[in-house]
Chains A and B, each alone.
Chain A
Amino acid sequence: MKELVKKTGHELRGLLDKKEVTSVEVAKAFLGRIEEIDGELNCFLTVTADLALEQAKAADERITSGKAGPLTGIPVGLKDLLVTKGVRTTCASKILENFIPPYDGTAVAKLREAGAIFPGKLNMDEFAMGSSNENSAFGPVKNPWDLTRVPGGSSGGSAASVAACEVPMSLGSDTGGSIREPAAFCGIVGMKPSYGRVSRYGLIAFASSLDQIGPMARDVEDAAILFKAISGFDPRDSTSLNPPAFDLKKALNPDVKGLRIGVPKEYFVEGMDPEVESAVRKAIAQLKEMGAEVKEVSLPHTEYAVAVYYIIATAEASSNLARFDSVRFGMRVDGKDLIDTYRETRAAGFGMEVKRRIMLGTYALSAGYYDAYYRKAQRVRTLIARDFAEAFREVDVICTPVVPSVAFRHGEKIADPLQMYLSDIFTIPLNLAGLPGLSLPCGFTKEGMPIGLQMMAGFLQEETLFRAAYAYEQANDWRRIPALGEVK
């Protein structure tokens, strides 16, 4: 029975449909795995075993009555910034430690309706701010490939839980690389959709114009299935789009003949881990052998992306986090008067990194600095988006590393925020441009750490993106399970 947790979602689907296993058995297997190893990993902030078993029972009934969808009876872990009705949602912050939302976000509601099973809420960097998952108020997540290393952030719990077989798939959110970077560090597939393709309703906002919910899974097929399930127009999100429905068949086509692949010269920088560079270059060469056309492209404004990102993201965050004021929900520390109560509550409730970003963003929006920082950043953002638009006139997919290195050790960069911010250098531009991107394993270092390959595509070109990733994945065998708590 323990073999079950090694299965992907679509493999479980086959077993469930053939009645070789029940949803309840699936749920119990994964809950057991969580109980067995999560003490070491710290992926889960809340385990909802009762809810999962209840959902599993309902899923079994649905399967029996022939009304099962692709995700019916499949466990999906939820990053703890996704609002869940009746289930504690903390954003990994003390300020929301006891917050129980009265409603479901749209992505969660869609999964609930599809019959998915929710084993619990996953650890993350507080309010999704961080690149290493060391900023959680409830302790860091460990990388299942090496417990001394970080899993990447901010969807570290979502990535590590999938890599360690605690769930077959999960949802994360990506503001500047928060799905792709931890996916690369943990050796799984993570995908950030085009901005507006997945509703943000019920996603506790970090930076509204950049945030996007996306799937994390052990293979491309699962990621595509999960993406299809959560995407679509939502009248409750004004920025939601209504493109033609995502075609799973077109996405899961292993043929890359004629696919034009771009390699941006600005993304192969000095100081990159040579093992990472070599693995990524090998992957590109392999795609070429498979019939893709490879050419160099240029994204000339790349060097400004990190600076632009930290102005826009922090500006939006400073405003988005104003609602955590102790008046209606969350913790409250009583002060001597109203203003003092705000101050005390926010001082005690927010962690260091969150405070740092609120300060930065407040400064960037202040009278007298707005033009020099925020407005200028928006202008450069437009230029970055234009770079991509031009590049995607010549190519269908752009391939780059996800991160310049593999997962680093806990504490290695936490004291140097600037160094930490630079680790998102390859993922941030895509969020600024609102385009879809995906991270998938493309090798391992000598030390056995997974290396990620990033693929990016034009606006709403998710089918092309998945197709390229699927083709590469089918031609390789990087899907591995870390030795941790060896699955018996």
Chain B
Amino acid sequence: MDWEMVVGLEVHSQLLTKTKIFCGCSTRFGASPNTQVCPVCLGLPGALPVLNKRVVEFAIKVGLATGCTVAPVSRFARKNYFYPDLPKGYQISQYELPILEFGHLDIEDDKGAPKRIGITRIHMEEDAGKLLHPDVPGADYSLVDLNRACVPLLEIVSEPDIRSAGEAVRYVKKLREILVYLGVCDGNMNEGSLRVDANVSVRPRGREKFGTRAEIKNVNSFKFLEQAINYERERQIELIEEGGTVIQETRLFDAAKGVTLGMRSKEEAHDYRYFPDPDLLPIVISSEEVEKAKELLPELPDPKRERFRTSYGLPALDADVLCSARELADFFEEAVKLHSDAKAVSNWVMGSVLKNLNRDGFDSVAFSPVTPAMLAGMLDLVKNGAISSKIAKEVFEEMWTSKKSAEAIVKEKGLTQISDTSEIEAIVDAIIAKNPSEFERLKGGDAKLTGFFVGQIMRESKGKANPGLVNELLKKKMDS
């Protein structure tokens, strides 16, 4: 049978606020256990939550960037359940009235055609703590670290519009890109800043009714997401084709084995007993606030790509690469302001700049020792013929290590291109004299030898000869 997979994703993204969502404790990652806690996030008797306004600002930004409607009134609810990492015995989340609804994200399907994935809702909530299982043989206890308790999260829930693992990955990548662009999330999946739950089901193609879904919890890499969804698809199809039925359950992805595993099946269905949290007032957002936020919204990756293609005339590939990170696009645009050959700038950014960053282990252009101004200065020298593009490579490396300007380096090392005809002619004559038989063959029409002669001449001039002049003079000699 021809099966179709239906996937809906819930992405939890940790927000880049300095303090937690309901108290003033720091959200810094990696601190010693229970050093960033207070009566509120410890859930001590008598403590009350107070909403961090930054979280609402961040949520509005994300909502505007994903085409969501910002609810004029939303509110927090309590999700009640017992677990040692949940200090209050309930998680403060949003339920009936989330802050954002009805958005979408545009991606490409597996064939490269545009596809729109609906966003059902986005809501704010607090994170839980973490259980630490001691690495002691026979230990019959666990420890609780509540540093992460009360850290702000946005949960972004998609419509079940996704039909393949590839689409799922592209959707999450796009979402991650937007969150990072907006500066609301660092997108660091290793540290759990972005975690994905995937709801996966299969149905015979053409049938409208959804199959029973399994939820794969807490996937924290694109590779695992793809593997988990594909595995789950095969598992469910196989199960049904063998006459079994898929049960609704929560599964975990075992990265080492590449399989999803059912969590200990819960006898009783979870009843979270949601109700509005009486400790927090409804969140009221005026249309003026939304308008203001709109004005402050940075240009998003997709419109930026489009603009890079049209106003700089860049190929799609260049636009994609340059717009993959906000700082990289800014770097490019700053350089283009100073040196107007956009394609040349793009080539150098995509080439040497990214290559060197990668080599030195930097993940952002913010760490580049070569500034946009330095790059533009070097390109100016190439353009006005002061150095060849070959010399430019050398100059670039020197800039990278010394942080000196191209002009200074060229002057210091005497790298200025030789454009003096007589000086070059002398070299050309010397090379011809050294290789008389090759020169005869060149004159006889063996065009392959042009490269040989240009190479020899350039080497003799230590690369400083103006290549245009070299070609011109060589031709003149052949004709004489």
Contacts and interface: CB of A to CB of B under 8 A. Distances in A.
A236 interface: yes
Interface stretch (B78-86, B367-375, B429-437, B447-455): B78-86
A362 B272 CA distance: 10
A101 B44 contact: yes
Interface string B21-55: 00000000000000000010011111111110000
A102 interface: yes
Given A235-B50, A236-B50, A365-B80, A323 B275 contact: no
Contacts of A321: 89
B84 A338 contact: yes
B78 A319 contact: yes
Interface string A455-474: 00000000000000000000
Contacts of B39: 101-103
Contacts of A103: 39, 44, 47
B50 A319 contact: no
B273 A319 contact: yes
A201 B273 contact: no
Interface in A228-279: 235-239
B75 to A, nearest CB: 11
B48 A200 contact: yes
Interface stretch (A39-47, A202-210, A405-413): A202-210
B281 A239 contact: yes
A442 to B, nearest CB: 34
Nearest to A102: B39
A89 B50 CA distance: 23
B83 to A, nearest CB: 9
Nearest to A367: B271
A1 interface: no
A82 B49 CA distance: 17
Contacts of B278: 207-209, 239, 316
Interface residues of B, number: 28
A325 interface: yes
Given A315-B275, A362-B273, A105 B46 contact: yes
B152 to A, nearest CB: 16
Given A238-B279, A327-B144, A362-B273, A322 B46 contact: no
B251 interface: no
A339 B83 CA distance: 9
Contacts of A339: 82
B87 interface: yes
B206 to A, nearest CB: 34
Interface string B210-233: 000000000000000000000000
Contacts of B78: 319
Contact of A322 (B47, B89, B275, B279): B89
A248 to B, nearest CB: 28
Contact of B275 (A235, A338, A374): A374
Contact of B82 (A89, A203, A238, A322): A322
Interface in A351-391: 362, 365-367, 370, 374
A15 interface: no
Contacts, number: 103
B442 interface: no
Contact of B46 (A201, A209, A239, A327): A201
B45 A322 contact: no
A328 interface: yes
A2 B314 CA distance: 94
Contacts of B89: 319, 321-325
A342 interface: yes
Interface string A100-113: 01110100000000
Nearest to B23: A236
A63 to B, nearest CB: 31
A165 to B, nearest CB: 29
B88 interface: yes
B273 A323 contact: no
A201 B87 contact: no
A124 interface: no
B352 to A, nearest CB: 53
Contacts of B281: 238-239
A329 B46 CA distance: 13
* Interface residues on chain A, size class: 35 or more
Contacts of B82: 322, 325, 339, 342
Interface in B62-115: 78, 80, 82, 84, 87-90
A101 B39 CA distance: 9
Interface in B253-289: 271, 273-275, 278-281
Contacts of A444: none
B88 A237 contact: no
Nearest to B144: A327
A319 B80 contact: yes
Given A208-B278, A323-B43, A236 B87 contact: no
A322 B88 contact: yes
A237 B48 contact: yes
A91 interface: yes
Contacts of B275: 315, 319, 365, 370, 374
Contacts of A235: 50
Given A319-B273, A323-B87, A370-B275, A238 B48 contact: yes
Contact of A91 (B45, B47, B80, B280): B45
Contacts of A202: 46-47
A432 interface: no
Interface string A327-348: 1110000000011001000000
Contacts of A316: 278
A201 B44 CA distance: 11
A83 interface: yes
Contacts of A201: 46-48
A72 to B, nearest CB: 25
A205 B48 CA distance: 9
A199 to B, nearest CB: 8
A103 B40 CA distance: 11
A99 interface: yes
Contacts of B49: 238
B84 A204 contact: no
B45 A101 contact: yes
A96 interface: yes
Interface in B396-448: none
**Most chain B CB neighbours (cut-off 10 Å) among A200, A201, A238, A329:** A238
The 6 closest A-B pairs by CB, nearest first: A322-B89, A209-B278, A365-B273, A208-B278, A83-B46, A204-B45
28 contacts: A82-B46, A83-B44, A83-B46, A89-B45, A101-B46, A103-B39, A202-B47, A204-B45, A209-B278, A235-B50, A236-B48, A238-B48, A238-B51, A238-B279, A238-B281, A239-B279, A322-B88, A323-B87, A325-B82, A327-B87, A328-B87, A329-B44, A338-B84, A362-B273, A365-B273, A365-B274, A366-B271, A370-B275
Interface of B: 39, 42-51, 78, 80, 82, 84, 87-90, 144, 271, 273-275, 278-281
Given A203-B46, A370-B274, A370-B275, 12 more contacts: A91-B45, A207-B278, A238-B48, A238-B279, A239-B279, A239-B281, A321-B89, A323-B89, A325-B82, A328-B44, A328-B87, A367-B271
Interface of A: 81-83, 89, 91, 96, 99, 101-103, 105, 200-205, 207-209, 235-239, 315-316, 318-319, 321-325, 327-329, 338-339, 342, 362, 365-367, 370, 374
